[in-house]
């Protein structure tokens, strides 16, 4: 065998070995990785609310609950947002015009408690809070109060833009996503006082799915307060405006059909309004 032939054989062996290293082992390693694929369908762990006395709340029984972190541990540290560590919104599932916005107290062990002034019905709570070191959370849970509910009249969806509560008249002007509310009493302007660090507070609940919208005022001037409102879905929305005058908070309730251009894109220009009587805020 000549030296030239020996050199050719060595070259071929080296080339084959390089091919095996580059492709053969890589395929084995890749196959091993594919043998245990990551389960992308499994939802990521999230924060949650745990009702401590079950989902049936007896008359005058305090509502008690805990906030659990993604590992199921009770959370005891929360950041203050809009003057409170937790905003609790409660609505009747079949009629979100039934509404309370309260601020429970928390014990050192992480137990939150509050007394609600509700009647018989089926309710959803929204715990709007920010655990320290985490993003803001809106956590939900359902409960009921037994008994016979008197109910409320069917939704009024007349094309109006006013509501009346406790002698105050509230007028709404909507310009796209900008909502402006003007409050008067006996035809005269009133002076809106700061509430939760802003000129007012707005909660929206979509009646079809109980989607939640929460907005704090952009600005307040005298008897006028403005909000940026952008629900993600079209539908019939119940809007609760909390405003404060002379140290007392009132809730003006509106029912509004909102059309949006697309999911999460804000609201369209066509909207119908229904005016509803409000109630005192507890």
CA distance 61 to 84: 23
Which residues are 99's β-sheet partners? 91
How many residues appear in the chain?
282
Residue 162 carries which DSSP code?
E
CATH 3.90.75 correct for 162-280 = no
Q: Residue 273: is it exposed, middle or buried by C-beta count within 10 angstroms (0-12/13-18/19+)?
A: buried
Residue 238 to residues 7, 73, 98, 159, 267: CA-CA distances in angstroms?
A: 86, 34, 10, 14, 15
Secondary structure (3-state) at 11: helix
**CA angle, residues 141, 154, 232, in degrees to nearest 5:** 50
CA distance 120 to 255: 22
* Mean pLDDT, range 86-98, rounded to an integer: 95
This model's pTM is above 0.85: no
Which residue reads 């929460």 in tokens?
214
Q: Return residue ranges of the chain for CATH 2.60.40.1930.
A: 48-145
How confident is the prediction for the chain on average, in pLDDT?
80
Residue 128 carries which DSSP code?
E
> What's the CATH architecture for 48-145?
Sandwich (2.60)
CA distance 232 to 205: 12
Nearest to residue 255, comparing CAs of 141, 153, 127, 120? Answer: 153
Q: pLDDT per residue over 27-46, tens digit each?
A: 333 333 334 444 445 566 79
Assess whether pLDDT exceeds 50 at residue 24: no
Integer Rg of the chain from CA: 29
Q: Residue 189 has what pLDDT?
A: 97
Residue 132 near residue 76 (C-beta atoms within 8 A): no
Q: pLDDT per residue over 137-162, tens digit each?
A: 999 999 999 987 666 666 555 546 89
Q: Given pLDDT bands bounded at 50, 70 and 90, which one contains residue 261?
A: confident
* Mean pLDDT, range 162-189, rounded to an integer: 94
98 is written with which tokens? Answer: 């039934």
Assess whether pLDDT exceeds 60 at residue 101: yes
Residue 35 to residues 28, 31, 39: CA-CA distances in angstroms?
A: 11, 6, 12
């Amino acid at each position: 065998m000549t030296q030239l032939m020996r050199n050719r054989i060595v070259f071929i062996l080296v080339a084959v070995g390089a091919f095996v290293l580059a492709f053969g082992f890589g395929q084995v390693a890749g196959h091993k990785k594919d043998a245990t694929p990551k389960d992308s369908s499994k939802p990521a762990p999230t924060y949650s609310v745990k009702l401590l006395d079950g989902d049936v709340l007896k008359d005058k029984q305090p509502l008690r609950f805990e906030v659990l972190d993604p590992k199921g541990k009770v959370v005891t540290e929360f950041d203050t947002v809009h003057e409170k560590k937790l905003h609790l919104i409660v609505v009747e599932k079949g009629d979100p015009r039934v509404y309370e916005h309260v601020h429970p107290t928390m014990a050192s062990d992480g137990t939150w408690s509050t007394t609600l002034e509700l009647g018989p019905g089926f309710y959803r709570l929204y715990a709007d809070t920010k655990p320290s070191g985490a993003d803001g959370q809106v956590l939900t849970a359902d409960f009921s109060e037994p008994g016979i509910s008197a109910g409320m009249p069917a939704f009024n969806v007349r094309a109006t833009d006013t509501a009346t509560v406790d002698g105050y008249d509230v007028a709404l002007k909507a310009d796209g996503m900008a909502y402006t509310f003007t409050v008067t009493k006996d035809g005269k302007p009133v002076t809106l006082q700061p509430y939760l660090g802003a000129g007012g507070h707005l909660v929206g609940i979509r009646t079809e799915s109980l989607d939640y919208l929460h907005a704090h005022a952009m600005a307040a001037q005298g008897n006028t307060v403005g909000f940026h409102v952008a629900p993600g879905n079209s539908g019939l929305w119940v809007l609760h405006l909390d405003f404060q005058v002379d140290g007392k908070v009132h809730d003006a309730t509106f029912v509004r059909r909102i059309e949006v251009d697309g999911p999460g894109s804000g609201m369209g220009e066509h909207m119908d309004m229904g005016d509803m009587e409000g109630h005192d805020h507890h």
